[in-house]
Amino acid sequence: MSSLAKNRQMTLAAWRKLNPGATGSDIKEFKLAFGKVENTGLPDGVQALVPKPEDISILDPGTLNYQDAQMITTTQPSWLDADGQLTNKDGTECYISGAMKRKIVAAGLIPPVPVPSKTIYRISSSPNKGLCMFAKTDIPAGELIVAERPLVIFPGRIMTERRDEIPEHLTFQQMQQVMLNDAEILYTRVVDRLDPQRKAAFMKLANSHLHDGSGPIVGRVRTNGFGRLTDPGSIGEYTIIGDNLSRMNHSCSPNVHCDFDMHTFSLTARAVREIKKGEEITVHYCHILEPAETRQESLAPYGFKCECKACLDPRSSDLVRAKCAAYTSRANSEGLWYFDESIPKAPSFASLLAALRVFTEEGLEVCDAYGYVLYQLLKAYLATNDFENVKIYLDKYRAWAQATGNEETATKKVIHAWNLGRMVLQLRVLGLAVVLAAKRMPKKTGAAKKTAK
Ligand SMILES: [Zn+2]
């Protein structure tokens, strides 16, 4: 596959010879170009896509008898208006699979989009950055900042409804142009279904794909999409585009967590740490634990160079982030760490507090491992009867869980940690701590013996 990414002038036929076992999905994975691309029109001999009439518009929000992978254009979700009437007015225009539509409809009647307690942000322009979002007031961790119904939802990868095979003599760059042209036609008919106000909002969004063959609709989708919705069939992940939420710029130390809440069918952004009045509200567009150089490569298609503190001083920041990534691996290697039932008999407060300091100083509270460290501290303080610190870390952990959509799990965990802490105290009183310590010793297993042979 590497030759495919590097040599866009290779034809599909030549590539198939080099990769005899390759499948269609290998081809789909090749990265779209960005920046300045020459010859962006349709290749000679390839006609513009004409969507089949039956695909153009399926208006009935209740129709469900589609094949799983059949792509449909539909307005979602439906909800009850103030008069008790079923409506999907100002809903999200979606280009989704039949399986995805069934999943949305199966979620039932959607409650209203949550409303933040007050407007706590403003959108204004900033030199060299275009429109940005700023805090109008101090915002505590966990607070809901934005919640909005998405404007549009599209598949995360560019798709075509071209029934005929794309000619094998085309180069990958030409095939890419065919795909981008097709997608522009398909996506335009979805955006055209938005009411004028919402369509105008979509067209006002930034577009960093002006010269790479992306049309005005596909360019905006590529620039503003959030990937937080997975197809139950074979499409993979969808990209979701909001209005105000799209004004959030990137930072490698973001202060909000964005999510798509299927329950209310809304895009939400919550503070992962306290945000001061006047501070810019930021989200991350790339994997923030990777080294600065990798992050810049991932951000290049967005048409800017990140100049956050971490990117300006990568030598020290990369080391810190590698440490945080190790914590994340540890949290992940413990499986569902949020159900971790181990008892912190002799908790290492120093190492946990040091880990916490690394995350907060680098501004990485959005990471799962930050929540992991908070939970371990909460358990440790509970087990040592230190209720002053229990209160502090309970508040921090709750705010983190609220911001990152882990609230339900966190509640169960806090109850579990409370019971666990009480149990540890009682066992200590009974002098049974030694029994617990023995239980926590690594066990020899049959698998380990086999390996030794
Ligand atoms: Zn950065």
Give residue 435's pLDDT: 47
Give residue 25's pLDDT: 60
Give residue 11's pLDDT: 81
**Does residue 381 come out as left (phi exceeding 0), alpha (psi in the -120 to 50 range) or beta?**
alpha
Distance 151 CA to ligand 1 centre (A): 28
Distance 396 CA to ligand 1 centre (A): 25
- Separation between Cα atoms, residue 379 and residue 346, nearest integer Å: 11
Distance 138 CA to ligand 1 centre (A): 23
Coil vs helix vs strand at 282: strand
Give residue 110's pLDDT: 82
Distance 292 CA to ligand 1 centre (A): 7
Distance 1 CA to ligand 1 centre (A): 29
Distance 331 CA to ligand 1 centre (A): 24
Cis ω for the linkage preceding 77 (within 30 of 0)? yes
Give 168's DSSP letter: T
Distance 246 CA to ligand 1 centre (A): 18
Q: E strands along 246-288, which residues?
A: 249-250, 256-261, 266-271, 282-283
User: Which residue ranges make up each domain of the chain?
Assistant: 314-439
Please say whether the beta carbons of 94 and 153 come within 8 A.
yes
Distance 88 CA to ligand 1 centre (A): 39
Give residue 3's pLDDT: 47
Distance 44 CA to ligand 1 centre (A): 42
Please say whether the beta carbons of 347 and 380 come within 8 A.
yes
Sign of the CA dihedral running 358, 362, 363, 365: negative
The token pair at 344 is 């912190």
Distance 207 CA to ligand 1 centre (A): 20
The token pair at 59 is 């208006």
Give residue 340's pLDDT: 60
Give residue 293's pLDDT: 96
Distance 308 CA to ligand 1 centre (A): 4
- Position 85, amino acid: Q
52-71: b or e for each residue (b if 16 or more CB lie within 10 Å)?
eeeeeebeebeeeebeeeeb
Distance 9 CA to ligand 1 centre (A): 33
Compute CA 212 distance to the chain's CA centroid, rounded to the nearest angstrom.
25
Segment holding 439, helix H or strand E: helix 433-439
- Separation between Cα atoms, residue 181 and residue 250, nearest integer Å: 28
Give residue 163's pLDDT: 62
174-191: b or e for each residue (b if 16 or more CB lie within 10 Å)?
bbbbbbbbbbbbbbebbb
| Regions in the chain scoring below 70 on pLDDT | 1-7, 23-30, 52-62, 163-165, 331-347, 420-421, 423-453
Distance 206 CA to ligand 1 centre (A): 20
Distance 224 CA to ligand 1 centre (A): 18
- Cβ neighbours of residue 116 closer than 8 Å, sequence gap 6 or more: 143, 144, 145, 146, 147
